[in-house]
Structure 1
């Protein structure tokens, strides 16, 4: 049996600045993009919860078999907080976490304000 460097998984926390404020108020576009990523990276959705606030900002949480992807948007500040965590129970998902982060950065056309990786 091989012991992985980070057996519990990689957790990435991002704070992003997004000039196109429409991306921060169009929850359906984010959900659709995430559904596409889940298929592309062979991740299994267990459930989803979301809420759209009065100013059209949104919070969405995808519960995954492998853990979760969560977002909170602040269109008034052109910022968002994104949380991606995949556990390594059945395989090493470390690179998937990093690739997902890059996919979201590109999707939002975002500038990274803060990016933290935590080995669990």
Structure 2
């Protein structure tokens, strides 16, 4: 079975609480992240919670980006799932982490639908800290089965 896409599951922390609590900034960040990944944005849906927090999804022709924020902890849970050879979820990740001003990213990368020796294979990376823009990328991925 060929892979059905690349799914990045992220825990990002040390983020700017004001950015995480601003629905328009969060919407713009995820929409631009999709654009940077060379994805075609189809629609967006975002909701602002009170007293704080934003959840949203950007539906792309190639799958989706979703986020849930907890400004009070400087934390966001972010998923980036793309299909197709022309999209690059790593570019979306780099942009979003930078715009949220993340100091730490914990990343799980899954090649959806991929099997080795009859078993599904998931790729898992280490915690990323420091200069995220230079450090985040496929070269940081170690295969764990």
TM-score with structure 2 setting the length: 0.69
Q: 1:49 to 1:110 in 2, by over 3 A?
A: same
CA RMSD of aligned residues (A): 1.9
**Kept after mapping to 2: 8 A contact 1:14/1:112:** no
Q: Secondary structure at the match of 2:73?
A: coil
Paired position in structure 1 for 2:11: 15
| Map of 1:103 onto structure 2 | 95
Is contact 1:67–1:86 with CA below 8 Å preserved after alignment?
yes
The question of whether the paired residues in 1 share the 8 Å contact of 2:27 and 2:46 is answered with no
Given the alignment of the two structures, is residue 48 of structure 1 paired with residue 44 of structure 2, yes or no?
Answer: yes
1:1-120 → structure 2 map (5 Å cutoff): 7-88=3-84, 91-93=85-87, 96-120=88-112
8 Å CA contact 2:40–2:60 kept in 1: the answer is yes
Give the TM-score, by structure 1 length: 0.82
Please report how far the alpha carbon of residue 78 of structure 1 lies from its aligned counterpart in structure 2 after TM superposition.
Answer: 1.3
Q: 1:97 to 1:25 in 2, by over 3 A?
A: same
**Structure 1, unaligned runs of 5 or more:** none
Q: Which of 1 and 2 has higher RCO (CA within 8 Å, sep 6+)? A: 1
Unaligned 5+ runs, structure 2: 113-145
